[in-house]
Amino acid sequence: MKRFIPNRVGLLATVGIGLLMVPFIGLLIRTPWTRFAGDLSESGTAVRLSVVVSVSAALVAVALGVPLGWALARGRFRGKGLVRAIVLLPIVLPPVVAGTALLASLGRRGFVGSIIDDVFGVTFPFTTPGAIIAASFVALPFVTLVAEAGFRAVDESHEEIAATLGAGSWRRFRRIALPKAAPALAAGAVLGWARALGEFGATVTFAGNLDGRTQTLPLAIFFELQSDPEAAFSLSLILVAVSVVVLVVARRAWVR
């Protein structure tokens, strides 16, 4: 049966998609195409740093988010609702609040940061590891939630059979659950990576802004907007393009 969209629903839906599309059209119109390659190469440092930070953060988020997702999908423990709420928090939290909270805890005067400083003589603010921590913090929920959904979708009967054949829980996790959830985990990793790549507020708050050390592409865009807006437009467009590719790739992995 062909489904018709009621007029008023269709109208608002059109306004909705328009609201989402108009900014990108603006960016396309304002991007100085003749300078595109030049702007990109001039921002090489920020691009390279963004790759390092976002990939590292995605790895951290996968290493921690997959186990967390598994625990939420399969684990039976008290306070699971609370754990899930904590996992969701960075998604709804303004990134600047995340950055402030990171400063309050892992900063030089933070209750964890001060101990690390005393013991190891290491501080995180204003360092690349600090930028990676900020990006990991915001990326982790995405990896966790997608991993949880992925593990839930895996038919447990295979693992039950493997258990009757004497496979231990670690072996069942590694040889059955993990491979079966792999497409979802890959999608989660890509989403987490994209979130890390776009991270701005927590990074600028916690890690600061220094060329080559903590100035990732989004920070470079913010500061370019104040000195060379056209460069900011073309760099923004690059991030839009990367995000579109990510969505297409992630969706393909997700649907498969």
Q: Name the residue nearer to other proteins (CB basis): 97 or 225.
A: 225
Name the nearest CA neighbour of 147 among 193, 198, 186, 195.
186
Q: Name the residue nearer to other proteins (CB basis): 130 or 192.
A: 130
Does position 204 interact with other proteins (CB under 8 A)? The reply is yes
Distance, in Å, from the CA atom of 42 to the CA atom of 52, rounded to the nearest integer, reads 18
Does position 129 interact with other proteins (CB under 8 A)? The reply is no
- Identify which range of 45-53, 146-154, 170-178, 218-226 contacts other proteins by CB under 8 A: 218-226
**Total number of residues shown for the chain:** 256
To other proteins, the closest distance from the beta carbon of 125 in angstroms equals 5
Among 5, 11, 112, 115, binds other proteins (CB under 8 A): 11
Name the nearest CA neighbour of 221 among 243, 204, 236, 239.
236
Q: Name the residue nearer to other proteins (CB basis): 156 or 228.
A: 228
DSSP per position, 114-138: HHHHHHH----TTSHHHHHHHHHHH
Distance, in Å, from the CA atom of 17 to the CA atom of 35, rounded to the nearest integer, reads 30
Q: Name the residue nearer to other proteins (CB basis): 12 or 86.
A: 12
Residue found by looking up tokens 């507020």 in the block: 201
Q: Name the residue nearer to other proteins (CB basis): 94 or 179.
A: 94
Distance, in Å, from the CA atom of 162 to the CA atom of 172, rounded to the nearest integer, reads 7
To other proteins, the closest distance from the beta carbon of 217 in angstroms equals 16
Chain residues binding other proteins by CB under 8 A are 8, 11-12, 15, 103, 107-109, 125-126, 204, 207-211, 214, 222-223, 225-227, 229
